[in-house]
């Protein structure tokens, strides 16, 4: 949620900040702003809506020579998306940008108001800049005042502050919200909420630990309580661009067959599954698994619960992280606590992980972002290797999560000797077909584009499936609602008659996942029940179904997971085409953010 950037150097500062924010716009895009300091003076600009509005507003402003700047793209938490609530927030002579939530902002605000400070916004962030200037009155030294300010904040934050009292200096602090600092041989300094804006700019980066506070100027860098450790930054800008596709989401759907190969490489062997990340001692004593995640990552977890129980004969339970946190869960130390997160920054998942650690459980993160907060906290991590995912609607991250979890279920099956070697070899063989299947699934894109025009109205969508196709139905419904804003729900096909079928009529669209390898006849009966009540049926299946109003024919496969991956692509393409036809920005759908770092 929210993205922040900072820059110190001689290049045109506005351009540097806006280009950095462009890379982070997926984190929030209600409003954006920058503050730029040169020769001791600060100019600030803010605009509601997307970054293009800020660009327009600053088109006649440019800098020459050395200076410093900070920028922010917002996903509103406290206060509406207005210009006054946009960052940077200003005091008399200082400006601040912040990502996270200051939990005790009301107390601080009340205290400062009693002392005569006037607030302009409804945000929690504004207290930081006023508190800093109050502290300056007694401390005199900007860094002492900044430290004392940060000490008084509860909650999560990544903060950058500019003040006229310290020319060309950026003060920074981080706790619970991501922030990275980068530098290069030209003496330039960069800050950002994730790697993306730094790629191609910084040559090395430091991932700040929680509790870090410091400042940087052209004269040098100071950080407390531990020095920052810089590591080389690799990657090139091109991989982070759209590469000819209309949307990042589309590009990411098309990339799946390649990135899934990266997920498997070195792990899926001819006769075995290998996870170098997991050593024997770590797994000793593990008898059960608890999977915990949010949103799409939760759907990946739910999918794997069928696989773990079926293959590895392990009791598995799956938790939505925001529910898990407050249910006073009973945790036993023979449980492996697995968190799944694309971003590695989801607040609920991170907190659930902390709870599991405190209860003494062994913890494993399945994550796409190395060095993210979740990765750093978990005892072990399996990276999904999907590459940067920019579309807010998760696609390739989901595919790679499911793949890692399928691999992990076999890894445990082998360790626990619950499947014969012959079955293991079959599973590995089918697994190796997945990249090809993902590639071939793209052939239905044109069909999805054409069909999309028939699904722009109605009073709702039911995505239905059985077994692993039930979580896939949930995922299909989530994808569609996120980007099309149409009402969609996922259900186990067998559950319809217990209530939801009451909604069936010609304006209710049923998207039926009808794989041939798993419970085909059972699912078919459920679809027939809906068809008999006049629901419009779009069947996705390798077998023609006479009652379907529309049909997307998939390839015949011999393994349910291959059907799963193919139908996943169909759902993604169909949702995307419906949303595009409705004129929506599928990469930045309304009300959502890529990384949900608030509760
Ligand atoms: O980064 P995470 O995987 O932890 O995020 C969890 C959810 O916020 C995320 O999957 C969300 O549901 C996506 N927008 C789905 O497309």
Q: Are residues 405 and 479 in the same domain?
A: no
Mean pLDDT on 544-569: 95
Token duo for residue 585: 């920005």
- According to DSSP, residue 556 is labeled P
Burial class (CB in 10 A: 0-12, 13-18, 19+), 110: exposed
Task: Report which protein residue has its CA nearest ligand 1's atom 11.
Answer: 295
- Position 29 scores a pLDDT of 77
- Work out the pLDDT band at 239, boundaries 50, 70, 90: low
Q: State whether the beta carbon of 294 lies less than 6 angstroms from ligand 1.
A: yes
Q: Which residue out of 342, 391, 594 has the highest number of ligand 1 atoms within 8 Å of its CB and is therefore the one to mutate?
A: 342
Q: State whether the beta carbon of 346 lies less than 6 angstroms from ligand 1.
A: yes
Q: State whether the beta carbon of 206 lies less than 6 angstroms from ligand 1.
A: no
Angle subtended at Cα 323 by Cα 318 and Cα 326, rounded to the nearest 5 degrees: 125
CA separation for the pair 440, 435 (Å, rounded)? 9
Name, in order, each residue with C-beta under 8 angstroms of 174's C-beta and a sequence gap of 6 or more. Answer: 157, 158, 159, 208, 209, 210, 211, 212, 213
- Work out the pLDDT band at 235, boundaries 50, 70, 90: low
Backbone angles phi, psi at 471, to 5 degrees: -60, -30
The predicted-structure confidence for 46-61, as pLDDT tens digits, reads as follows 999 889 999 999 999 9
485 has a pLDDT exceeding 60:
yes
529-542 in b/e burial notation, b at 16+ Cβ within 10 A? bbbebebbbbbbbb
Q: Which residue out of 28, 252, 296 has the highest number of ligand 1 atoms within 8 Å of its CB and is therefore the one to mutate?
A: 296
CA separation for the pair 596, 599 (Å, rounded)? 8
DSSP bridge pairs for 538: 511, 550
Q: Are residues 303 and 410 in the same domain?
A: yes
- Position 543 scores a pLDDT of 94
Q: Are residues 185 and 47 in the same domain?
A: yes
Query: Residue 397 belongs to what domain range?
Result: 245-432
238 has a pLDDT exceeding 60:
no
- Position 12 scores a pLDDT of 96
Name, in order, each residue with C-beta under 8 angstroms of 288's C-beta and a sequence gap of 6 or more. Answer: 314, 315, 316, 317, 332, 334, 335, 336
Closest residue by Cα to residue 194 from 9, 398, 395, 3: 3
CA separation for the pair 84, 162 (Å, rounded)? 18
User: Ligand 1 mean position to 253 CA, how many Å?
Assistant: 16
- Position 370 scores a pLDDT of 80
The predicted-structure confidence for 322-337, as pLDDT tens digits, reads as follows 999 899 999 999 999 9
Q: Where are the alpha helices (DSSP H) in 359-508?
A: 373-377, 396-415, 421-432, 434-441, 445-452, 469-484
Q: State whether the beta carbon of 349 lies less than 6 angstroms from ligand 1.
A: yes
479 has a pLDDT exceeding 60:
yes
Burial class (CB in 10 A: 0-12, 13-18, 19+), 57: middle
CA separation for the pair 128, 91 (Å, rounded)? 9
Q: Is the Cα torsion angle 572, 393, 273, 560 positive or negative in sign?
A: negative
User: Ligand 1 mean position to 241 CA, how many Å?
Assistant: 21
- Position 79 scores a pLDDT of 79
Q: State whether the beta carbon of 394 lies less than 6 angstroms from ligand 1.
A: yes
Backbone angles phi, psi at 174, to 5 degrees: -140, 130
Contact 168, 66 (CB under 8 A): yes
The predicted-structure confidence for 441-476, as pLDDT tens digits, reads as follows 999 999 999 999 989 987 899 999 999 999 999 999
Task: Report which protein residue has its CA nearest ligand 1's atom 14.
Answer: 393
214 has a pLDDT exceeding 70:
yes
- Position 194 scores a pLDDT of 84
Q: Are residues 333 and 348 in the same domain?
A: yes
Contact 152, 213 (CB under 8 A): no
493-524 in b/e burial notation, b at 16+ Cβ within 10 A? bbebeeebbebbeeebbbbbbbbeebbbeebb
User: Ligand 1 mean position to 195 CA, how many Å?
Assistant: 18
User: Ligand 1 mean position to 592 CA, how many Å?
Assistant: 10
Q: State whether the beta carbon of 596 lies less than 6 angstroms from ligand 1.
A: yes
Q: Are residues 219 and 102 in the same domain?
A: yes
CATH of the domain at 57: 3.60.20.10
Q: Are residues 425 and 353 in the same domain?
A: yes
User: Ligand 1 mean position to 294 CA, how many Å?
Assistant: 6
The predicted-structure confidence for 95-139, as pLDDT tens digits, reads as follows 999 998 898 999 999 999 999 999 999 999 999 999 999 999 999
User: Ligand 1 mean position to 371 CA, how many Å?
Assistant: 18
Q: State whether the beta carbon of 452 lies less than 6 angstroms from ligand 1.
A: no
Q: State whether the beta carbon of 368 lies less than 6 angstroms from ligand 1.
A: no
- Work out the pLDDT band at 28, boundaries 50, 70, 90: confident
- Position 598 scores a pLDDT of 73
Backbone angles phi, psi at 224, to 5 degrees: -130, 160
Q: Which residue, 379, 404, 432, sits at the end of a domain?
A: 432
User: Ligand 1 mean position to 574 CA, how many Å?
Assistant: 19
Instruction: Ligand 1, residue 343: give the atom nearest the CA.
Output: 1
Mean pLDDT on 15-20: 96
Mean pLDDT on 569-590: 95
Name, in order, each residue with C-beta under 8 angstroms of 525's C-beta and a sequence gap of 6 or more. Answer: none
Q: Which residue out of 193, 340, 346, 579 has the highest number of ligand 1 atoms within 8 Å of its CB and is therefore the one to mutate?
A: 346
Mean pLDDT on 249-270: 92
User: Ligand 1 mean position to 562 CA, how many Å?
Assistant: 23
Angle subtended at Cα 205 by Cα 201 and Cα 207, rounded to the nearest 5 degrees: 135
- Long-range contacts from 118-121, C-beta under 8 angstroms, 24+ separation: 120/84, 120/89, 120/90, 121/79, 121/84, 121/85, 121/89
The predicted-structure confidence for 511-541, as pLDDT tens digits, reads as follows 999 999 999 999 999 999 998 888 999 999 9
Q: Are residues 511 and 371 in the same domain?
A: no
Q: Which residue, 384, 411, 432, sits at the end of a domain?
A: 432
- Work out the pLDDT band at 24, boundaries 50, 70, 90: confident
CA separation for the pair 596, 577 (Å, rounded)? 25
Strands 180-183 and 204-207: antiparallel
256 has a pLDDT exceeding 60:
yes
Average pLDDT over the chain, rounded to whole? 93
Q: State whether the beta carbon of 597 lies less than 6 angstroms from ligand 1.
A: no
User: Ligand 1 mean position to 295 CA, how many Å?
Assistant: 5
Contact 552, 451 (CB under 8 A): yes
Higher-pLDDT residue of 479, 2 = 479
Closest residue by Cα to residue 369 from 393, 390, 338, 348: 390
Q: Are residues 467 and 372 in the same domain?
A: no
Q: Are residues 257 and 180 in the same domain?
A: no
- Position 243 scores a pLDDT of 66
Q: Which residue out of 249, 292, 297 has the highest number of ligand 1 atoms within 8 Å of its CB and is therefore the one to mutate?
A: 297
Q: State whether the beta carbon of 392 lies less than 6 angstroms from ligand 1.
A: yes
CA separation for the pair 583, 599 (Å, rounded)? 30
Q: What is the DSSP string of 267-304?
A: TB-SS-B--TT--HHHHTT--EEEEEE-HHHHHHHHHH
Q: Which residue out of 394, 478, 593 has the highest number of ligand 1 atoms within 8 Å of its CB and is therefore the one to mutate?
A: 394
425 has a pLDDT exceeding 60:
yes
The predicted-structure confidence for 184-211, as pLDDT tens digits, reads as follows 999 999 999 988 889 889 999 998 888 9
Task: Report which protein residue has its CA nearest ligand 1's atom 7.
Answer: 295
Instruction: Ligand 1, residue 592: give the atom nearest the CA.
Output: 14
257 has a pLDDT exceeding 70:
yes
Token duo for residue 229: 């450790």
Which residues form the catalytic set?
Answer: 2, 594
Q: Where are the alpha helices (DSSP H) in 71-191?
A: 105-114, 126-139, 142-151
Instruction: Ligand 1, residue 293: give the atom nearest the CA.
Output: 4
77 has a pLDDT exceeding 80:
no
Q: Are residues 80 and 218 in the same domain?
A: yes
Q: Are residues 383 and 518 in the same domain?
A: no
Instruction: Ligand 1, residue 397: give the atom nearest the CA.
Output: 3
Q: Which residue, 219, 241, 263, sits at the end of a domain?
A: 241
CA separation for the pair 5, 199 (Å, rounded)? 13
Q: Are residues 378 and 466 in the same domain?
A: no
> By three-state DSSP, how is residue 507 classified?
coil
CATH of the domain at 310: 3.40.50.10490
Into how many domains does the chain fold? 3
- Position 507 scores a pLDDT of 84
């Amino acid at each position: 949620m929210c993205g922040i950037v900072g820059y110190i150097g001689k290049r045109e500062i506005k351009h540097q900040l806006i280009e950095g924010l462009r890379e982070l716009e997926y984190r929030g895009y209600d409003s954006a702003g920058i503050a730029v300091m040169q020769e001791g003076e600060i100019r600030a600009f803010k605009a509601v809506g997307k970054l293009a509005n800020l660009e327009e507003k600053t088109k006649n402003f440019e800098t020459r020579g050395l200076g410093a700047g900070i920028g922010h793209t917002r996903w509103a938490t406290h206060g509406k998306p207005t210009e006054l609530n946009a960052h940077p927030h200003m005091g008399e002579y200082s400006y601040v940008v912040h990502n996270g939530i200051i939990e005790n902002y009301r107390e601080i605000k009340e205290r400062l108001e009693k002392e005569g400070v006037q607030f302009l916004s409804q945000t929690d962030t504004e207290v930081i800049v006023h508190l800093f200037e109050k502290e300056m009155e007694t401390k005199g030294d900007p860094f002492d005042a900044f430290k004392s300010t940060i000490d008084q904040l509860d909650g999560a934050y990544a903060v950058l502050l500019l003040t006229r009292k310290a020319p060309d200096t950026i003060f920074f602090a981080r706790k619970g919200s991501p922030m990275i600092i980068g530098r290069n041989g030209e003496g330039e300094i960069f800050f950002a909420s994730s790697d993306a804006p730094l790629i191609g700019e910084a040559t090395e980066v430091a991932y700040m630990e929680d509790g870090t506070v410091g400042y940087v100027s052209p004269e040098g860098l100071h950080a407390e309580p531990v020095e920052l450790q810089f590591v080389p930054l690799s990657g090139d800008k091109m991989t982070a661009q759209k590469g000819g596709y209309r949307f990042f989401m589309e590009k990411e759907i098309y990339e799946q067959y390649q990135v899934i190969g990266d997920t498997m490489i070195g792990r899926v062997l001819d006769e075995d599954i290998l996870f170098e990340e997991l050593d024997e001692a770590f797994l000793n004593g593990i008898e059960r698994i608890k999977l915990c995640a949010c949103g799409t990552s939760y759907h990946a977890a739910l999918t794997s619960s069928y696989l773990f129980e079926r293959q590895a004969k392990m009791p598995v339970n799956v938790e939505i992280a925001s529910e898990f946190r407050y249910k006073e869960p009973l945790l036993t130390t023979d449980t492996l606590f697995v968190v799944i997160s694309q971003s590695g920054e989801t607040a609920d998942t991170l907190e659930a992980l902390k709870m599991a650690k405190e209860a003494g459980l062994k913890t494993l993160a399945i994550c796409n972002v190395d060095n993210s907060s979740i990765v750093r906290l978990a005892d072990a991590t399996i990276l999904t290797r999907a590459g940067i995912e920019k579309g807010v609607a998760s696609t390739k991250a989901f595919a790679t999560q499911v793949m890692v979890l399928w691999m992990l279920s076999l890894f445990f099956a082998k360790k626990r000797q619950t499947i014969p070697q012959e079955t293991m070899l079959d599973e590995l063989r089918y697994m190796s077909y997945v990249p090809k299947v993902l590639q071939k699934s793209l052939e239905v894109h044109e069909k999805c584009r054409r069909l999309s025009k028939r699904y722009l109205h109605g009073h709702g969508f039911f995505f239905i499936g059985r077994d692993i196709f039930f979580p896939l139905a949930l995922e299909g419904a989530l994808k569609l609602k996120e980007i099309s804003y149409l009402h969609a729900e996922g259900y186990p096909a067998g559950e319809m008659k217990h209530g939801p079928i009451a909604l069936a009529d010609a304006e209710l669209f049923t998207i039926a996942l009808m794989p041939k390898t798993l419970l085909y006849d059972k699912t078919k009966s459920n679809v027939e029940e809906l068809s008999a009540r006049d629901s419009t049926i779009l069947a996705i299946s390798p077998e023609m179904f006479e009652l379907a109003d529309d049909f997307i024919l998939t390839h015949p496969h011999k393994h349910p997971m291959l059907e799963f991956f193919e139908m996943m692509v169909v759902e993604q393409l169909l949702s995307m085409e419906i949303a595009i036809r409705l004129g929506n920005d599928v990469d930045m759908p309304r009300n959502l953010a890529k990384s949900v770092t608030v509760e």
